[in-house]
Amino acid sequence: MKAKSTSKFELDGIPPLKESIPLGLQHLMAMVIGSCLPAILIANVAGLDYKMSTLLIQAALIFAGLSTLLQLYPIPLFKGFKLGGGIPVIMGATAMFIGAGVSVAGKYGLPVLFGSQIIAGIVIIIISFGLKKIRFIFTPVVSGTIVACMGLGLFPIAIKNLAGGMGNETFGQPINFIVGIAVSLMILGLNKYGKGLFKDASILVSIIFGYILSLMLGIVNFSSIQEFTLIALPKPLVFGLDIKIEVVVMFSIIYLVEIADIMGACTLSAVGGLNRQVTDEELSSAVLGNGVLSTIGALFSATPMGMFGQNSAIVSNTKIISKFVLAIGGIGLFLAGVSPLLANLIRTIPPCVVGGATLVIFSTLTTSGLRLVSMDGFNQENSMILGLSMAAGIGFMVVPQVLEKSPKFIETLLADSSVVSGAMVAIIVQGLYMIKFSKGKDNKNKKDKKENI
């Protein structure tokens, strides 16, 4: 009987807990704040009280954990399909829905938000079964461009956190930059000179360092810890359900772009960590699993799930692909969600510490996307696809006023997400090049036939 591998560099490897727990917690720390962000912003615009806000955060963390475990250890359905892709990834409440979610919550209320999310989720579940037929659209240059646009679009979030967090009375004070930059430098130093676990878990070690430094400087805010219940599970249908067709259409479009995001994250983990391309079956199963959990999550007031590119970047960078290691991060997310106390303790991490860590993570994410593009080479066509997509992705975010006279869902779709606009431009431009290539090929074939006659 073959002995089980203990290598963290093997997909089915089970490293010792003393090694696995810090590495798993590193994945959790890299995305837990980001996974809570949609719930926090939606709760604010919906005017929820402290208790209801905590419920949204708990739901986001619980379903992030469940979605992660499902992706790592899929449930077989029938030939070619599983619930989950089996790729080393981390799931969480996707930032792609923040703009639309905030807009819908403020304009129509939470019942419409969650009701429309369910219908859109069912649409994407149906599409997942035919994903193989549209995968040709998502070439390495398109997937890489989407990942790069995602990273670039997240930089403002990192910088705002680095400065202390928008709305914080200490926003922009030098002490925030000092702590945040110290965290960034710690990550870089450990990656360059660290050995063993200190190098592999450089992000976690640096966040702990930043937290201790913040405690010493007195900038950790414990005022949010008002709930000391150890265990509390969110209840279904707390806000009720309602549906508006225009919101369903908008969410369905964003879900489609989320598929491209999933493809990018899966490709990043597969190419960087597994040294191979992701298969059609893995992608279809990953999208199917995400659609099912996001739909069920809406019943419990969780916003849509997605794959976190920064965690795929960590997998690609460290080559640590053990599903067991990532599962520890997923279990940590679930436990943080079922405990209001733990959920609020996580919120005490100062924004500047988060900003310092995510600045490095988002930089790695952006360059990982560029590496994916380079797989097809930086020829004129690929460079044009990348350049125009990044221009659109960042341009609409920087100058959202240009869309003020457009329909609301178009404004929300393009201005609030660098990924949506970037992906749309990448797919359209690539399609134009494909048409040109196809016509050129047909003309060449006709010419060859005439010469043969």
pTM: 0.76
Q: Best-predicted range by mean pLDDT among 37-41, 101-105, 107-111? A: 107-111
pLDDT in tens, 396-411: 888 988 988 888 778 7
Do 411 and 404 touch, CB atoms closer than 8 A? yes
Q: Best-predicted range by mean pLDDT among 97-101, 159-163, 181-185? A: 181-185
pLDDT of 121 > 70? The answer is: yes
Q: In the beta sheet, which residues pair with residue 92?
A: 306
Which tokens sit at 223?
A: 């005022």
pLDDT of 299 > 90? The answer is: yes
Do 343 and 230 touch, CB atoms closer than 8 A? no
Which tokens sit at 203?
A: 């992000």
Do 387 and 155 touch, CB atoms closer than 8 A? no
pLDDT of 283 > 70? The answer is: yes
pLDDT of residue 286: 95
pLDDT of 227 > 60? The answer is: no
CB under 8 A, 24+ apart: contacts of 426-430: 426/141, 426/142, 426/145, 426/146, 426/385, 426/386, 426/388, 426/389, 427/137, 427/142, 427/260, 429/384, 429/385, 429/388, 429/389, 430/137, 430/139, 430/141, 430/142, 430/385
pLDDT in tens, 232-249: 888 899 999 999 888 898
pLDDT of 100 > 70? The answer is: yes
> Strand 305-307 and strand 91-93: pairing?
antiparallel
pLDDT of 442 > 70? The answer is: no
- Give 202 or 260, the one with higher predicted confidence: 202
- Residue 180: pLDDT band by 50, 70, 90 thresholds? very high
Residue that is written with structure tokens 């597994």 in the block:
274
- Residue 448: pLDDT band by 50, 70, 90 thresholds? low
- Give 136 or 9, the one with higher predicted confidence: 9
Coil/strand/helix, residue 92: strand
Among 48-52, 182-186, 307-311, 380-384, the range scoring the smallest mean pLDDT is 48-52
Amino acid at position 325, single letter? V
- Residue 384: pLDDT band by 50, 70, 90 thresholds? very high
pLDDT of residue 356: 93
Mean pLDDT on 278-306: 94
pLDDT of 314 > 70? The answer is: yes
- Residue 316: pLDDT band by 50, 70, 90 thresholds? confident
Mean pLDDT on 161-188: 92
Measured CA to CA, the distance from residue 230 to residue 341 in angstroms comes to: 6
pLDDT of 451 > 60? The answer is: no
Main-chain dihedrals φ then ψ at residue 76, nearest 5 degrees? -65, 140
pLDDT of residue 304: 94
